[in-house]
Amino acid sequence: MPGADLVLGIESSCDETAAAVVQHGSHTLSSVVASQIATHARYGGVVPELASREHLRAIVPVVRAALTQANITLGDLDAIAVTNGPGLAGALLVGIAYAKSLAFAQNLPLIAVNHLEGHIHAVLLNERSMQDGELPLDTEPALALVVSGGHTHLYLASPINGMWNYTLVGRTLDDAAGEAFDKVAKLLGLGYPGGPWIDSLALHGNPRSVPFAFSQIKTKLHLAGKPPRTKAAVTAPIADLDTHFLFSFSGIKTAVLRYVELHNLRPEAESRRDALFTGPDAPTCPTVEDALAHCDQLTLDLIASFQYAVVGDLMKKTFAAAESLGATRILVTGGVAANRELRLRLNAEAARRNLRLSFPTLALSTDNAAMIAAAAWPRLQARQFASADLSADPSLALGR
């Protein structure tokens, strides 16, 4: 199938080994994701050494499966795209080393893709795949909220002759929103990753029972020369950003912890963890119904209130940024974009404000390689290839 504009994408930045074949940056022929959730779940978070080992095990079968499902061979490809950062160094290196060797052996161009740009292209891929026939070039700038386990970033994404430019507009000063979901779920004895558990259990609680509040970030907090508190915060300067578009999710995590202690919910959380995950009688694959049977109303109300507050904060700052920048189009992407309440409330507010809002499909919201292949498509056309000494950049930033 020579000249069919086929890109093989490879993604291994965190705890998912993924490969996908995408045609013209718009048509997904295959997308295979091998999740390591079972490996990391018992630790309540990703263990970097285990992640690298699992990527090594999975990378060859996952790439083979992507080619088989797309019904093509390596010889049919036009390029190989791989995530080169940000992410876990050892995990990234597995994908990069494999992509490089395939590109070298097949004499194919290698394209390096920023994982965050990948997430943004998950939405664009989804939009393009829904359009039939000739694809009009994107011309309108969009405000992109990338909200995942490692990032909560706002970018202005501007298309210029088929390529995209990114300007950082806002970001978290500490934890990412997904990280807050994961930590709160862990505290409450729920599974990893925490987002999907909280998403499902929140439906059974009263979101207004605990009035969690986010305070406005003060200018001096980030201008006082304080070192950023997390690794992720090192990746981009924050001094010149509008404080109204800065996020902070470590406070709500502490507020939930206080609530748990005040209401003596810890013993119950421990027995919940035992009953659902670690105890001898724990089910092999606990369901939401199993979790519901081990949650009292106070805990369900706490979960619903936590989610309501986080979603409210994400909404408020995203729409404020869109308004301030005059953006009429908003893209929301990353693992947390799978959240039902986030989708519902953002959609309702966008409709009220007459703004165009897009999400990826649920499968494209969390880490996958179709978004990497899609992000590589404009680079293939512009012949922006990576050199043979491409390496992992764990704190790679996107845009300025």
The residues of the shown chain that bind ligand KG4, judged by CB under 6 A, are 14, 148-150, 178, 181-182, 193-196, 199, 334-336, 338-339, 366-367
Provide, rounded to whole angstroms, the least separation between the CB of residue 82 and ligand KG4.
Answer: 16
Provide, rounded to whole angstroms, the least separation between the CB of residue 1 and ligand KG4.
Answer: 31
Choice between 315 and 372, CB closer to Zn ion: 372
Provide, rounded to whole angstroms, the least separation between the CB of residue 147 and ligand KG4.
Answer: 8
366 binds, among ligand KG4, Zn ion, none (CB under 5 to 8 A by kind): ligand KG4
- Is 365 among the residues that bind Zn ion (CB under 5 A)? no
Looking at residue 33, its amino acid is V
205 binds, among ligand KG4, Zn ion, none (CB under 5 to 8 A by kind): none
- Is 305 among the residues that bind Zn ion (CB under 5 A)? no
> Of 170, 193, 367, 369, which one interacts with Zn ion (CB under 5 A)?
367
Provide, rounded to whole angstroms, the least separation between the CB of residue 113 and Zn ion.
Answer: 12
- What strand order describes the sheet that includes 79-85? 27-35, 16-23, 6-11, 79-85, 110-114
191 binds, among ligand KG4, Zn ion, none (CB under 5 to 8 A by kind): none
User: Tokens representing 8?
Assistant: 């093989």
Provide, rounded to whole angstroms, the least separation between the CB of residue 274 and ligand KG4.
Answer: 22
Choice between 76 and 290, CB closer to ligand KG4: 290
> Of 148, 235, 307, 318, which one interacts with Zn ion (CB under 5 A)?
148
Provide, rounded to whole angstroms, the least separation between the CB of residue 366 and Zn ion.
Answer: 7
Provide, rounded to whole angstroms, the least separation between the CB of residue 249 and ligand KG4.
Answer: 11
Stretch of residues binding Zn ion (CB under 5 A), selected from 41-49, 54-62, 287-295, 365-373: 365-373
User: Tokens representing 195?
Assistant: 């987002």
Provide, rounded to whole angstroms, the least separation between the CB of residue 158 and Zn ion.
Answer: 22
Choice between 23 and 272, CB closer to ligand KG4: 272
Choice between 117 and 367, CB closer to Zn ion: 367
Query: What x/- string results for residues 107 through 146 when contact with Zn ion is judged by CB under 5 A?
Result: ----------------------------------------
Distance CA 13, CA 52 (A): 9
174 binds, among Zn ion, ligand KG4, none (CB under 5 to 8 A by kind): none
Q: Residue by residue, what is the 3-state secondary structure of the chain?
A: CCCCCEEEEEECCCCEEEEEEEECCCEEEEEEEEECHHHHHCCCCCCHHHHHHHHHHHHHHHHHHHHHHHCCCHHHCCEEEEEEECCCHHHHHHHHHHHHHHHHHHCCCEEEEEHHHHHHHHHHHHHHHHCCCCCCCCCCCEEEEEECCCCEEEEEEEEECCEEEEEEEEEECCCCHHHHHHHHHHHCCCCCCHHHHHHHHHCCCCCCCCCCCCCCCCHHHHHCCCCCCCCHHHHCCCCCCCHHHEECCHHHHHHHHHHHHHCCCHHHHHHHHHHHHHCCCCCCCCCHHHHHHCCCHHHHHHHHHHHHHHHHHHHHHHHHHHHHHCCCEEEEECHHHHCHHHHHHHHHHHHHHCCEEECCCHHHHCCCCHHHHHHHHHHHHCCCCCCCCCCCCCCCCCCC
336 binds, among ligand KG4, Zn ion, none (CB under 5 to 8 A by kind): ligand KG4
On whether the CB atoms of residues 380 and 78 are closer than 8 A, the answer is: yes
Choice between 310 and 380, CB closer to ligand KG4: 310
178 binds, among Zn ion, ligand KG4, none (CB under 5 to 8 A by kind): ligand KG4
Provide, rounded to whole angstroms, the least separation between the CB of residue 104 and Zn ion.
Answer: 27
- Is 268 among the residues that bind Zn ion (CB under 5 A)? no
Binding residues for Zn ion, rule: CB under 5 A, are 148, 367
